[in-house]
Structure 1
């Protein structure tokens, strides 16, 4: 769905009006831009790039009897001016649901639970090294029903059902089992196993782990995808590590993808963040992709991110 700036303005005014009657309505967002030298395989060029910058509204209302209605409406905003006219604002997660002792049920546009299962292991999410550039499974789907159970001893079940929305298409299902805290704020270890069935033409499996050790945050993902139409498979691994001291965090990540027929692809990224404040950071990264049957790619960037 394409939206104009007037729609966003209307949503903002509506949100302020709602806040007078509802219990909780919050406006949040992220502005992330980089100046970078990019080589997609046909030669390098300089660009200013907006990296999944966004604005959103979320909140809820207590209905009593341990029941709450919750909602989110999030939009990606093009801050570099490169998008086509009328396409500078696009949909991200947007849903309404109920939350209670049973867990939560959400209806609308949402990331599948397999996508959510990566937690914070992808240290360069939304940048050129995002794991979606080598793997399938990073799906934000329309027409979804998502259920998440309460946590039992750190375990939580998640299920996303994707309605076919047409006569000649198939329903899709994403299932995940989570353990621990993906932000590693309440625990020092996180793990998840997830499976997609018939989601955007692929069956996908992932195992994700992340933990803290001697000041380092270490993560890994094992990934397998199979194309439903022809049975072709891709197997891959991702390893990530970061270490913080004072206001600096240094990061490294390696991702592989081994295709049927011997086509091997890999990506490696090194980066660093410098915190100007809790909400703001300067950062830099270098990403290189080694592609057997496609052109190699390289990206060198410095950027600024502000969250509110």
Structure 2
């Protein structure tokens, strides 16, 4: 409870300072009513889908430098209370200038960040992390973004050992275009992890617009550092807008395991989306098949 009260006090204090300093208070509230079957019978539940709030800003310094920071927390609106309700997400401080941008703290790795918006069911049961390794938010990390040149950029992550008997780790990505597909019609990246959370991994991914349809594809390979087990998979996604409504579908594999998802989003307001989706997982012997059906609301502020 003390942890929760402290975080809320910081957020409220920062809100009052918005007029004096370039601080932005932001967040996302995302809750769904869900029918789930994970192999032992169907049940209903409320899910908080990566709901979050945070503070971010920048300050101009001398010699063409700018200080940048972000402090973000996850908050569970559905079924977790007390001291476990609020947990840390990306939290860093850094500098940017003509050399690019350096961030120190807790941050998504280059491989995780490089997927852009290709995963259309991110934050839900069919998030790519359900089948693939590599979705890591690394503590004790140094993140570097190069300046972009003709649409190309590089993202590097160095993860410190944090103990005498541990090993450091690296993640890197080269990307092209705008992941939001606003400044360019295409986005593509190649990314790799080296000994991140016990795995080596590599991804090649791209997304683009064909008429009004957004099409995405990802190829993924991972190797367990200890066991040496290597696994491959791929993902295809498509989204089609119809006025305020967007229809979307996605298929993901890892060896003989796969997941199929379909959904619909309705833009009820500038920052508010009503949604429904269905996801089905088919596992090859290792785990029981499972499926989920959900309806919910997402609001950004």
Matched, 1:279 2:271: yes
Residue matched to 1:9: 8
Task: Tell me by how many angstroms 1:8 deviates.
Answer: 1.9
Q: How far has the Cα of 1:67 moved from its partner?
A: 1.1
C-alpha spacing 1:255/1:3, structure 2 compared with 1 (3 Å): farther
Q: 1:93 aligns with which of 87, 90, 95?
A: 90
SS in 2 for 1:114: helix
Deviation at 1:16, TM superposition (A): 3.6
Q: SS of the residue aligned with 1:4? A: helix
CA contact (8 A) 2:15 2:25 kept: no
Instruction: Quote the offset at 1:3 in angstroms.
Output: 6.8
1:51-101 Cα deviation digits (max 9, x unpaired): 000001000101143210000000000100x22641000000000000111
Q: Counterpart of 2:151?
A: 154
**Partner of 2:259 in structure 1?**
267
Q: State how far apart, in whole Å, the 2-side matches of 1:16 and 1:281 are.
A: 25
d(CA) in 1 for partners of 2:29, 2:165: 40
Alignment partner, residue 246 of structure 2? 249
Q: How far apart, in 2, do the equivalents of 1:167 and 1:202 lie?
A: 20
Q: Which residue of 2 aligns with 1:261?
A: none
Match for 2:284 among 280, 285, 292?
292
Paired position in structure 2 for 1:75: 73
Aligned to 1:29: 27
CA-CA distance at 1:168 after TM superposition:
1.1
Tell me if structure 2 keeps the 8 A contact 1:3–1:87.
Answer: no
Whether the aligned pair in 2 keeps the contact of 1:3 and 1:89 (CA below 8 Å) is: no
The alignment's C-alpha RMSD in Å is 1.3
Q: How does 1:199-238 map to 2 (within 5 A)?
A: 199-238=196-235
The range that moved more, 5-14 or 187-196, is 5-14
**Distance in structure 2 (CA, Å) of the matches to 1:13 and 1:283:** 30
Q: Secondary structure at the match of 1:10?
A: helix
Q: Say which SS state the counterpart of residue 86 (structure 1) adopts.
A: helix
Q: Secondary structure at the match of 1:220?
A: strand
CA distance in 1, matches of 2:2, 2:215: 40
Aligned equivalents of 2:6 and 2:290: distance in 1? 37
Which of 114, 120, 125 pairs up with 2:122? Answer: 125
Write the distance in 2 (CA, Å) between the matches of 1:167 and 1:198.
16
Partners of 1:104 and 1:145 in 2: CA distance? 11
Match of 2:299 in 1: 306
Q: Give the 3-state SS of the residue equivalent to 2:31 in structure 1.
A: strand
Alignment gaps of 5+ in structure 2: none
What is the 5 A alignment of 1:48-197?
Answer: 48-80=46-78, 82-83=79-80, 85-197=82-194
- Give the distance between the partners of 1:232 and 1:162, measured in 2 at CA: 23
Number of residue pairs matched by the alignment: 300
Q: Distance in 1 between matches of 2:136 and 2:173?
A: 14
